[in-house]
Chain A
């Protein structure tokens, strides 16, 4: 050992898992650190006696006066104060005092911590920040921790606690912060020098401060953090103890499987350790004769993992619906997990449109997923990725689930499908509200197959009337202010004036990186005589208006007239 022992003193606050606390206390003491232990008064006398006995063979261990400690209240600070007084008194060699709990576990040899501190003999390691500057607080109490009174226990008297806070807010009650101090907050676990700590404890105004902090909310995170600002010459505002909190402000617990993570963090001490984590205790308290390392603590990897955990708990995976994530309408944080394209009227107007689209964009192109007979998956498959079934009954039972599941199952591959006026209408709002949907509609194109069909004209007329009504309702949905999809609508007449231009726009959007000029166009259905067909419908009293204007005697509808900009809704 390079330094003389006894320069680092440890205060252990213990309230549970005495066996582990005893193990850790022994570890500190055997590594040459005097230890003062505060045991919560809630521990039964018999257990306490056993605990004291288990450490009786060690010289440098003292037990401070026991108090009953309650989370969030003054008693923890009181216990810390008396333990700190005891350690400064009993061990005059102590230069740094480390505050730890019974569930803290030293991750690196104590010797490394001691030499780290020996190189920084005047530095106080205590996280200390003003309330305005940090978003740590959970539950909405930040500066109010210092300006309201908290006589009630948050754990046992929650209603009184909340009610009294509300009352004080309403009556604009407040209390004055003692002169000379600026409230600071930070981790409860600090490491202070003898000079600083004794100055805090011997402060002539300590009575004033103590009285004030007795009614502050969670004083163990603010008492030392505030007063240290008066005396310390060199504050390093971070805790040497690694501890993580979840979004409700409870500490994360480290388990055996965190072993590698903890080791990589190179932190000196971590909390909280699960009391049954035998592997961790064995690994970190066992005698490791590694060469002494002088690396700085680097908890960034742990930080990243827990930040991810927090995001998972609060935001979840976008577009996933499962038994523990089923957001209410409007709370989804994204309806689906990836962009997809919906085409209405294209496969009616172009022959082999689906194949062509797949070839050009590399997307997976399905037929009418919401067709009345069955879900037409790409390649005519009856079961699709993830076990999706083409049964119309299953799909109609919950159309949203089919689409959301399909997009989730095929993450990484762009999906496209056809939609039409005959298809299940129940999916319309879902698509329209989804910013991931790229919906392109050629209105009135449903008439093209009717035009080519071999049905009786009265049947054609009935179908046409139904489809027109259905499509018109769909257009209303797409034009509603709630629609968030990327929507393009052309009338049939508009579209066929410059089909290539419009197709190019769509293709570019689906695969933006390709940016190729279209070389191969899909073949358009023959529309000669279509105008007359529409006129015949009109003559039968059914006015088809969604196609746009077609001249009655259109012998050459595909002439190259100047293109019209697509009508973009959003």
Chain B
């Protein structure tokens, strides 16, 4: 047979060939040290946190915990809190990164929120993860912990009927410790700044459009993780350089252990078995979606500020044109955008799955 005619030559996306045992072992050992290094880093960063209101004594042994780093999110937080309280989150751990819009005062007043504050760099704290890791070590050990940003709203199968605890009970019964979600960038019809958002309202009343299926998946063998890109930001802002497009795969819900650590944002975890939220045979595992309420009207002004702060991407200079494009108040909607209705729609589009949870 002609040697050119063997498959696999141009199918490099799939590199799940078996590694040799020795190299597997080497990788595992390297990652073990990486995990320890990251934990140690979180340990050092704890000094950057100062407590504003500590209500962690309220945390019961089986409580569901949410953890988040915020900066100037006074507009989104009222809805955020009511959304997650309704899902059944019992306690929130917040780190306030130098807000000046009243976020701190607002969160300090909430009865189920424990709040820490820090003026230090978000980027140098691995986008807030170091701070949260420390809080998770201290307070989330043995709990199901949802790590989300203030603009991410978790949608899982049956989220309108079954509280989050039912999902975690089911995951417990299946001996599953992490739950995957894809981040879905939601945008309005018309220009971004056209619809003024009233704090407390459902942001998805206006941000109700999304790109249904232009997502690409690449397997990362070292972390056993799926690298997901696509969506409206890849389509509109990164069509020339798609590898720079934002990563969309997340593992927001984890049965936390103090030895766990997020590697980059909440995209991947160590130990790497926690990244195993996709099925490698043909079946579907249960999974969810994070509705991303980034493109509210405020994003237009914020982008100009964030461009100056350079706190959001590892190589900020590559993202200047992205910030410029958003600052220009674009219209992201197109004729092929899909209007969001409910989780069943997302499932039938193939963006999430019930797996065997019926």
Contacts and interface: CB of A to CB of B under 8 A. Distances in A.
Interface of A: 246-248, 250, 252-253, 255-257, 274, 276, 305-306, 309-310, 312-318, 320-329, 331-333, 383-389, 391, 393-394, 397-398, 400-401, 405, 408-409, 425-430, 432-433, 473, 476-477, 479-482
Nearest to A323: B182
A316 to B, nearest CB: 4
Contacts of A314: 281-283
Interface string B259-286: 0000000000000000001111111111
Interface stretch (B147-155, B297-305, B312-320, B332-340): B332-340
B19 interface: no
Which 6 residue pairs are nearest across A and B when measured between Cβ atoms? A387-B211, A324-B287, A391-B239, A333-B282, A386-B213, A480-B5
A313 B356 contact: yes
B240 A391 contact: yes
Interface stretch (B28-36, B59-67, B94-102, B227-235): B227-235
Contact of B279 (A326, A384, A386, A432): A326
A328 B14 CA distance: 7
B205 interface: no
Nearest to A315: B282
A326 B217 contact: yes
A394 B234 contact: yes
Given A255-B158, A397-B242, A309 B11 contact: no
Given A312-B283, A391-B240, A405 B11 contact: no
Interface residues of B, number: 74
B212 A386 contact: yes
B166 interface: yes
B278 to A, nearest CB: 5
Nearest to B163: A276
A247 B356 contact: yes
Interface of B: 1-2, 4-11, 13-14, 16, 158, 161-163, 165-166, 169-170, 173-174, 180-182, 211-219, 226, 228, 230-232, 234-235, 238-243, 249, 277-287, 334-338, 350-358
Contacts of A247: 356
A15 B261 CA distance: 36
23 contacts: A248-B174, A250-B174, A253-B173, A255-B161, A256-B161, A312-B353, A312-B356, A314-B282, A323-B217, A324-B277, A324-B285, A325-B283, A327-B279, A329-B14, A383-B336, A386-B212, A387-B211, A387-B212, A401-B216, A408-B213, A426-B10, A429-B9, A479-B5
A476 B353 contact: no
B159 to A, nearest CB: 11
Given A386-B212, A408-B213, A476-B2, 19 more contacts: A250-B173, A306-B358, A316-B279, A317-B284, A320-B284, A322-B351, A322-B353, A323-B180, A323-B287, A324-B352, A325-B279, A326-B217, A329-B11, A331-B280, A331-B282, A332-B282, A394-B239, A394-B242, A429-B7
Nearest to A430: B11
Nearest to B213: A386
B284 A393 contact: no
Nearest to B240: A393
Contact of B355 (A305, A313, A332): A313
A412 to B, nearest CB: 13
A333 B241 CA distance: 32
Contacts of B350: 317, 320, 322, 408
A445 to B, nearest CB: 22
Most buried by A among B10, B212, B286, B356: B356
Contacts of A398: 13, 216-218
Contact of A274 (B166, B212, B226): B166
A323 B228 contact: yes
A386 B349 CA distance: 9
For A276, A327, A386, A425, the residue with the greatest tally of chain B CB atoms inside 10 Å of its CB is A386
A429 B352 CA distance: 28
Contacts of B169: 274
Contacts of A433: 7
Given A325-B284, A430-B11, A397 B5 contact: no
B217 A324 contact: no
Given A387-B214, A409-B213, A246 B356 contact: yes
Contact of B356 (A309, A332, A388): A309
Nearest to A246: B356
A481 B287 contact: no
Contacts of A426: 10
Contacts of B243: 397
A38 to B, nearest CB: 23
A314 B338 CA distance: 29
